[in-house]
Amino acid sequence: MTAAAETPATTPPMPRIGDPAPAFSAVSTRGKIDFPADYEGKWVIFFSHPADFTPVCTTEFMTFASMQQQFAAYNTELLGLSVDGLYSHIAWLRTIKEKIAFRDLKNVDVSFPVIEDVSLSVARKYGMVMPGEDSTKAVRAVFVIDPKGIIRVIIYYPLSLGRNFDELLRVVKALQTCDHFGVSTPADWQPGEPVVLAAPGTTGAAQERMAGTAEGVECTEWFLCTKKLSAEEIEAAIRVA
């Protein structure tokens, strides 16, 4: 059965947050990749795009490439995928570097790997193909995968909507902050703003919280307490040398 003839009954279930990232081997613009084994100990942003030589995808790849070192500073690697072939990928990336300007970006070298997936096998394994949007192209999916190979964040965008890359970097910082300090982050959180503490599990603990004895902790109600955590503390904890 060809990929195009594959029915919903035979399509792998979409992975979920908390699941191990589905394993695969693939050819990429940087050679063969065994995923997630090759990225053990690293955070990964694994993302799909609809097609090479398309306008929105071009702006996205230029933006991702321009921010690659910012992500690397937080132990985070980038890995792209589309259903085009390897030589199409190579030609497109060469065109981006040699001919394309976007905003203040030009001569951009896309050095992170881009996976060939003509069979759609990897895209289907990750639920990147949404037939209601397009049955032969991947949508703009984003998977943030932690150093143990566990999926931590899944974000989907339609074909027409370019991603917000500052938000993707914020997501990486927030996840790592939560993991390191054992906290949560509130709406629109940025490093340096107060973080959220887990709600107390007993009436005694709730009363203790509201007594206001913990240094640096502020409570508006027993279940909503925040703690000051400076940007410097966060950078020292999660940024790699």
Known catalytic residue at 57: yes
What pLDDT, on the 0 to 100 scale, is given for residue 214? Answer: 74
Please indicate, yes or no, whether residues 78 and 127 belong to a single structural domain of this protein. Answer: yes
Single pTM value for the model: 0.92
Residue 147: inside a domain, yes or no?
yes
Residues 106 and 210 in one domain: no
CATH number (domain holding residue 203): 3.30.1020.10
pLDDT for res 9: 46
Q: Are residues 131 and 186 in the same domain?
A: no
Distance CA 82, CA 114 (A): 8
Task: For residues 51 and 155, state if they share a domain.
Answer: yes
Range(s) of the domain holding residue 135: 24-163
Assess whether 137 and 193 both reside in one domain: no
Q: Has residue 4 been placed in a domain?
A: no
Asked if residue 7 is part of any domain, the answer here is no
228 in the same domain as 118: no
Residues 135 and 215 in one domain: no
Closest CA to 145 of 47, 26, 222: 47
Residue 210 has a pLDDT of 85
| pLDDT, position 2 | 44
Tens-digit pLDDT profile for the chain (241 aa)? Answer: 444 444 444 667 889 999 999 999 999 999 999 999 999 999 999 999 999 999 999 999 999 999 999 999 999 999 999 999 999 999 999 999 999 999 999 999 999 999 999 999 999 999 999 999 998 899 999 999 999 999 999 999 999 999 999 999 999 999 999 999 999 999 999 999 999 999 988 998 888 888 876 778 899 999 999 999 999 999 999 999 6
Question: 87 lies in a domain?
Answer: yes
- Answer yes or no: is 163 a known binding residue: no
Distance CA 155, CA 103 (A): 25
Q: Looking at the structure, tell me whether residues 157 and 43 fall in a common domain.
A: yes
If asked whether residues 191 and 158 sit together in one domain, one would say no
Looking up tokens 């984003």 gives: 142
- Same domain assignment for residues 155 and 189: no
**Claim to verify: residue 42 and residue 135 sit in the same structural domain:** yes
Q: Are residue 94 and residue 143 in the same domain, yes or no? A: yes
Given the DSSP bridges, would you call strands 217-221 and 224-227 parallel, antiparallel or unpaired? antiparallel
Helix (H) or strand (E) holding 70: helix 68-72
Please pick, among 57, 178, 219, 225, the residue that the annotation labels catalytic: 57
Total domains, the chain: 2
* Structural domain contains residue 111: yes
Q: Is residue 169 part of a domain?
A: no
| Domain contains 118 | yes
